Structure 1
Amino acid sequence: MNLVELIISAIYGVVEGITEWLPISSTGHMLLLNEFLPLQVSADFWDMFLVVIQLGAILAVVVLFFYQLNPFSPSKGKAGRRRTWRMWGQIIVACLPAAIIGVPFNDWMTDHLSSPFVIAAALIVYGVLFIIIENVRESKVKRILEGGGARPQHMAAPEVEDTNNLSELADSEAAVQRVQDMPWKTAFGIGCFQVLSLVPGTSRSGSTIIGGLLLNCSRSVAAEFTFYLAVPVMIGASGLKLFRFFSKGNVSTSEEAAILGVGCIVAFLVSLIAIRFLMNFVKKHDFKPFGWYRIILGIVVIAYFALTA
């Protein structure tokens, strides 16, 4: 057993656990990490590893949100269970666009658009979008306050502690403040935005969070629904990758199985921390720091690969 490869796999698990949930592109970071710290595995195994390691991250969502996701919980009562089934219906509806477009085109996108420059461009473009969207939301609130107009009733809700904080006020002005209150068309719209994540560097969580913000969801709702969407999407993608891997006649060695296992376990543990961090962060802050991070990283990537080409 190669200890070095297991350590490298653990590093991939850390990167996956952080970047899968923060809107900064997990696939983009994993592909870039592979440029500097590649695993000594076959091309087929690497292609499978890149997707299946997400199962560890998904398990963290199931653990942290088990009550919200469990429609059989007796403590919810009949109405609560009905709301949970409704939410699962919305999750399925939101997954349809990615399933219809992603299944036939995902491999093509990965094969043809996984260059560092495409990843960098996606990082920058969506980073700019995060900043623009948050600025527009804050400007809308600022105009209302400066104009002396009537403040919407749901604005500056009780959970807003600092009414001078434009970021919190802008978030409290969003129409959808709870996942269970999300309209069906909003769920489907967020699912359509998820299709954008087929381009490496976009970020699945980033695309759905942007969709949620544009469709008038609060930051917490956009992030939480993104986590829920990940469950069927990642399980389906991982299952498909495993099927294709073994259908080609590949047989995973004990070392490869250990590499995948270590990566998944570390991704699970780190995801527990990353998800809690993001949910606490968005209660008081906007997504602009992630936007700036994406822009800076994209510029660094372009500069590095341009100089080393």
Structure 2
Amino acid sequence: MDYIQAIILGIIEGLTEFLPVSSTGHLIIGSSLLGIDPNDQFVQLFNVAIQLGTILSVVVLYFKRFFKSLDFYYKLFVAFIPAVVLGLLFNKQIEAFLGNVTIVAICLLLGGIVLLFVEKLFKNPTLDNADNVPYPSAFKIGIWQCLAMIPGVSRSAASIIGGMQQKLTKKAAAEFSFFLAVPTMFGATAKKLYDFYKQGLVISSHEWGILGVGNLVGFIVAIIAIKSFIGFVTKHGFKAFGIYRIVVGLVILILIFSGHSLQMV
């Protein structure tokens, strides 16, 4: 992987991490189009560790919320528990899915269909403040988030839909999804780094530079994406994202089944 590829993937990560379109799916597709070897250990680490930049963007934008009360952290921890448990139990199965463009395309398509109708499914929200999410609701949102362990589902989409199912408004559900991303992505990155070093692998100075550039680009782009997303989804809802997912999913499936070499594993 070179610096230009890291910048491109950083832009993809920053744009898609907090939108309900699957950042992992887009990174897999982007890596495929760039001709990056999906079986390279550093590439697999990069696609997870690049999330650190986007984590920082949430902390910067919502700085005061993260220092409001300990109750805020307790709720995030409760919502984080399902991902920890299922992630540890099914780590090998999850790793096996990563890099499979066909699975990504199918999940993008199906998730897009869900987003077209999600606002009709979950009407009459009663909670407009992400800080006031009850503990049982936080845990249930965390369970919804676990659907994103399948590449192409979208962590953001799963947790936002989970929030709406728990009677949160679109804005509150989106914000809780942002907050929940911090422990979830930090935990995933820490686990990936641990596994990387456990295999006796070492990150070279060049690779540290690649990670730094990717995270910096992701951080800058994510700040812009978060600000834009909240305003857009509050006013227009999720249909545009649903249509986008359907189109991308169909295009990728057509390319794959017409013989183009997008399949990575």
Aligned AA for 2:72?
Answer: M
Which whole-Å CA distance do the structure 2 matches of 1:42 and 1:112 have between them?
12
Cα distance, 1:70 vs structure 2 = 1.1
C-alpha offsets along residues 176-226 of structure 1, whole Å, 9 cap, x if unaligned? 111122222111110010110010100100110111112211011111000
C-alpha offsets along residues 44-79 of structure 1, whole Å, 9 cap, x if unaligned? 1011111000001101001001101114xxxxxxxx
Residue 170 of structure 2 corresponds to residue 219 of structure 1:
yes
Cα distance, 1:282 vs structure 2 = 2.1
Cα distance, 1:41 vs structure 2 = 8.9
Cα distance, 1:42 vs structure 2 = 7.0
Q: Secondary structure at the match of 1:229?
A: helix
Aligned AA for 1:267?
Answer: G
Which whole-Å CA distance do the structure 2 matches of 1:61 and 1:308 have between them?
40
Equivalent residue number for residue 145 of structure 1 = none
Normalised by the length of structure 2, the TM-score is 0.93
C-alpha offsets along residues 249-282 of structure 1, whole Å, 9 cap, x if unaligned? 1121221111111101000010110111111112
Cα distance, 1:21 vs structure 2 = 0.6
Cα distance, 1:247 vs structure 2 = 1.7
CA contact (8 A) 2:6 2:210 kept: yes
Q: Secondary structure at the match of 1:250?
A: coil
Q: 1:207 to 1:41 in 2, by over 3 A?
A: closer
Q: Secondary structure at the match of 1:308?
A: coil
CA contact (8 A) 1:106 1:198 kept: no
Q: 1:239 to 1:306 in 2, by over 3 A?
A: same
Q: 2:12 aligns with which of 10, 15, 37?
A: 15
Equivalent residue number for residue 82 of structure 2 = 97
The within-5 A match list for 1:106-121 is 106-112=91-97, 114-121=99-106
C-alpha offsets along residues 277-304 of structure 1, whole Å, 9 cap, x if unaligned? 1111122120111111111111001000
| Cα RMSD, aligned residues only | 1.7
Aligned AA for 1:238?
Answer: T
Which whole-Å CA distance do the structure 1 matches of 2:113 and 2:174 have between them?
19
Equivalent residue number for residue 65 of structure 1 = 62
Q: 1:274 to 1:107 in 2, by over 3 A?
A: farther
Normalised by the length of structure 1, the TM-score is 0.80
Q: 1:38 to 1:103 in 2, by over 3 A?
A: farther
Q: 1:292 aligns with which of 243, 246, 249?
A: 243
Equivalent residue number for residue 54 of structure 1 = 51
Which whole-Å CA distance do the structure 2 matches of 1:280 and 1:133 have between them?
18
Q: Secondary structure at the match of 2:64?
A: helix
Which whole-Å CA distance do the structure 1 matches of 2:221 and 2:97 have between them?
30
Aligned AA for 1:51?
Answer: V
Q: Secondary structure at the match of 2:30?
A: helix
Which whole-Å CA distance do the structure 1 matches of 2:101 and 2:128 have between them?
37
Aligned AA for 2:60?
Answer: V
Which whole-Å CA distance do the structure 2 matches of 1:189 and 1:49 have between them?
30
CA contact (8 A) 2:127 2:167 kept: yes
Which whole-Å CA distance do the structure 2 matches of 1:211 and 1:31 have between them?
25
Cα distance, 1:37 vs structure 2 = 0.4
Equivalent residue number for residue 263 of structure 2 = none
Which whole-Å CA distance do the structure 2 matches of 1:51 and 1:113 have between them?
11
Which whole-Å CA distance do the structure 2 matches of 1:23 and 1:101 have between them?
21
Aligned AA for 2:10?
Answer: G
CA contact (8 A) 1:24 1:123 kept: yes
Q: Secondary structure at the match of 1:232?
A: helix
Which whole-Å CA distance do the structure 2 matches of 1:126 and 1:10 have between them?
27
Residue 24 of structure 2 corresponds to residue 27 of structure 1:
yes
Equivalent residue number for residue 109 of structure 2 = 124
Q: Which runs of structure 1 show a deviation greater than 2 angstroms over 4 or more consecutive aligned residues?
A: 38-42
Q: 1:105 to 1:41 in 2, by over 3 A?
A: closer
Equivalent residue number for residue 242 of structure 1 = 193
Which whole-Å CA distance do the structure 2 matches of 1:128 and 1:99 have between them?
28
% of aligned pairs identical? 38
Q: 1:199 to 1:272 in 2, by over 3 A?
A: same
Q: 1:300 to 1:256 in 2, by over 3 A?
A: same
Equivalent residue number for residue 133 of structure 1 = 118
Cα distance, 1:39 vs structure 2 = 3.9
CA contact (8 A) 1:9 1:39 kept: no
Which whole-Å CA distance do the structure 1 matches of 2:102 and 2:134 have between them?
37
Cα distance, 1:40 vs structure 2 = 6.5
Aligned AA for 1:287?
Answer: F
